[in-house]
Structure 1
Amino acid sequence: MCCGEGRLRLLMIIYSDRPLNRVSYARVMEERIAAQRMASQGTVPIEECVAVEEPLEIQINGSPWVTTMRTPGQDRELAIGLLYTEGILQNEDDITNIHLEDNVLMIEGEISAEGHTRGFLRSSSCGVCGSASLESVLARNPPKIPADTFTLQWGDIEKLVTKLNSSQSFFQSTGGMHAVAQFNENLEIINLAEDVGRHNAMDKIIGQSIDAMPHYRLGFLLSGRVSFEMVQKAVMVGSPCIVAIGAPTTLAIQLARQHGLTLIGFVREARFNVYTGAWRIKE
């Protein structure tokens, strides 16, 4: 092991013991978040390493071009690769300057986004489109989610996930589908959709029940992880709860906390993590 590697390992050990602090030696890709682990033996406070999700706005010669939800790090490479695959950049020499400031990557050079000025937002699973600025992602007017109209028992969570798993017919046959379901307080699956994109499956669910907004008494079940746009969709329809087999990102947790949504992840046999809104889970 070289000296540099040894120092890096030492830094990782030191910072791993500091709760709720971000590692400072590099662009942060994970963050330690306080949560509650609920199991049959009881509830204990824990800290989980959560994947960081933050927006990155890419500007070309002073004009916003695209906003993408990503895990920070290698932002320059991300932008160059996206520009190349979109047919905007032919050679890296065409770029004269790249500067990153406050999650805005400014690119200058002999390049033009003319003909590509679709001003869209790419999520970490390509879920949210049609927005050209960071402000437009959060500047919505969602219904206020009531704090006391939806509760679950501790044992309900595993039952719900079991129902979801047994209902994923296309996943069972292909192994390549995400599933999203809506459920009520009686643990009944009201709607279910499968798609190669988790965001598409959730949009299908919302489309099926567009005439029953807001969804104050319906929660969402997700077969995978929880990124920002999944929480955003739930918030926009007034849903009070998301239960996911996978893990949430930092931005998903932040948005859920901001709107009083109960966010449950890492559901396994007889245990799960509650990241926000634990008051809705009765032991």
Structure 2
Amino acid sequence: MSRVTARRPMQRISPTGEIRRPDTLVVEEPLEMRLGGRSLTVTMRTPGADIDLVHGFLLSENIIGAADDVLSARYCAGTDANGQNTYNVLDIRLRTPVPAPPSRNFLTTSACGLCGKTALDEVRTRTRYPIPTEGLVVETGVLAAMPEELRRHQSVFDATGGLHAAGLFTADGTALAVREDVGRHNAVDKVIGWALRENRIPAPDLVLIVSGRASFELVQKAVMAGIPMLGAVSAPSSLAVDLAAESGLTLVGFLRGDTMNAYTGTHRLAHSAAVSANGTG
């Protein structure tokens, strides 16, 4: 299955005139997740790494805790006008079947319609992998270089300019896995799902880097996976900072060039003279 990009007609308008030509766009299609034949949720995603996406989502929602909790994940149903499989429906069989929760009970939507404290309590009481206080330490110079390394792996972004990315890095700056998706939360689920299937969860020795902002749901996913550090190219939200502080996660925003804003967990940052850990946003 290779439907990551698609071509569409476009009229480019500039001071020098107009040009009509096809443009390369990122594909966005629905993925329905089913548990034992029952619909669980639908997410809009860029096709590719769907198995990782499902594993990451189920872990983030505390439905599974290990890769072997999933007996099988297979494409089913869903055909187009020509009778071809759309690969937009995945049915998952769990070792221990669980009732499909209504979407309003998903942790990723718990910040909607609830007070901040309730959202924080939901994550704290459900996580299987509390973040250890000691362990991971990353030099700020190494951390500052991670977004550029993430960008180097964004081949689809190069073609479309329309994708988010997430990557898992070691403390020395080595990129272990990078995934792209039209949804930032899907990109994170894909790398977490990869780590789960590689038996790297919990991941007390890894850093999660995202190409955009750090929302509550991205911090929540890092916490649920036991990842102690999250770096974002753009700004965090107030609730994301609150959850990071509550969970003991190191949250760094505005990770650009030689500056960064460290909001929580600064004990995991080893200052490098070439980098300011108190940059402005």
TM-score range, shorter chain: 0.5 to 0.7
> What are the equivalent positions in structure 2 for 1:180-199 lying under 5 Å apart?
180-199=166-185
In the alignment, the residues of structure 2 paired with residue 118 and residue 253 of structure 1 have an alpha-carbon distance, to the nearest angstrom, of: 27
Contact 1:142 1:235 in 2 (8 A): no
Match of 1:174 among 160, 176, 180: 160
State yes or no: 1:147 paired with 2:137: no
Quote the offset at 1:189 in angstroms: 0.4
2:104 corresponds to which residue? 120
Contact 1:226 1:247 in 2 (8 A): yes
Quote the offset at 1:263 in angstroms: 0.4
In the alignment, the residues of structure 2 paired with residue 243 and residue 255 of structure 1 have an alpha-carbon distance, to the nearest angstrom, of: 14
State yes or no: 1:219 paired with 2:207: yes
Contact 2:233 2:256 in 1 (8 A): yes
Decide whether aligned partners of structure 1 residues 264 and 132 sit closer, same or farther in structure 2, where only a CA change above 3 A counts: closer
Provide Cα deviations, 1:29-49, integer angstroms capped at 9, x if missing partner: xxxxxxxxxxxxxxxxxxxxx
Quote the offset at 1:170 in angstroms: 1.0
Provide Cα deviations, 1:14-65, integer angstroms capped at 9, x if missing partner: xxxxxxxxxxxxxxxxxxxxxxxxxxxxxxxxxxxxxxxxxxxxxxxxxxxx
Identity over the aligned pairs, expressed in percent? 37
Quote the offset at 1:228 in angstroms: 0.5
Quote the offset at 1:204 in angstroms: 0.8
1:75 corresponds to which residue? none
TM-score by length of 2: 0.54
Quote the offset at 1:158 in angstroms: 1.9
State yes or no: 1:248 paired with 2:233: no
Quote the offset at 1:132 in angstroms: 9.6
Provide Cα deviations, 1:124-176, integer angstroms capped at 9, x if missing partner: xxx548x9975684341332211221011121122111101111111111111
Amino acid at match of 2:206: L
Decide whether aligned partners of structure 1 residues 260 and 166 sit closer, same or farther in structure 2, where only a CA change above 3 A counts: same
1:23 corresponds to which residue? none
In the alignment, the residues of structure 2 paired with residue 281 and residue 222 of structure 1 have an alpha-carbon distance, to the nearest angstrom, of: 18
In the alignment, the residues of structure 1 paired with residue 146 and residue 103 of structure 2 have an alpha-carbon distance, to the nearest angstrom, of: 39
State yes or no: 1:237 paired with 2:225: yes
2:71 corresponds to which residue? none
Decide whether aligned partners of structure 1 residues 198 and 132 sit closer, same or farther in structure 2, where only a CA change above 3 A counts: same
Quote the offset at 1:269 in angstroms: 1.9
Provide Cα deviations, 1:79-115, integer angstroms capped at 9, x if missing partner: xxxxxxxxxxxxxxxxxxxxxxxxxxxxxxxxxxxxx
In the alignment, the residues of structure 2 paired with residue 272 and residue 197 of structure 1 have an alpha-carbon distance, to the nearest angstrom, of: 24
Q: What secondary structure does 2:126 align onto?
A: coil
State yes or no: 1:280 paired with 2:264: no
Decide whether aligned partners of structure 1 residues 156 and 119 sit closer, same or farther in structure 2, where only a CA change above 3 A counts: closer
Contact 1:216 1:238 in 2 (8 A): yes
Quote the offset at 1:181 in angstroms: 0.2
Unaligned runs of 5+ in 1: 1-116
Decide whether aligned partners of structure 1 residues 282 and 250 sit closer, same or farther in structure 2, where only a CA change above 3 A counts: same
Decide whether aligned partners of structure 1 residues 168 and 128 sit closer, same or farther in structure 2, where only a CA change above 3 A counts: farther
Quote the offset at 1:120 in angstroms: 2.3
Length, aligned pairs only: 163
In the alignment, the residues of structure 2 paired with residue 281 and residue 118 of structure 1 have an alpha-carbon distance, to the nearest angstrom, of: 39
In the alignment, the residues of structure 1 paired with residue 140 and residue 268 of structure 2 have an alpha-carbon distance, to the nearest angstrom, of: 10
TM-score by length of 1: 0.53
Decide whether aligned partners of structure 1 residues 266 and 212 sit closer, same or farther in structure 2, where only a CA change above 3 A counts: same
Contact 2:143 2:173 in 1 (8 A): no
State yes or no: 1:258 paired with 2:258: no
Q: CA RMSD in A?
A: 2.5
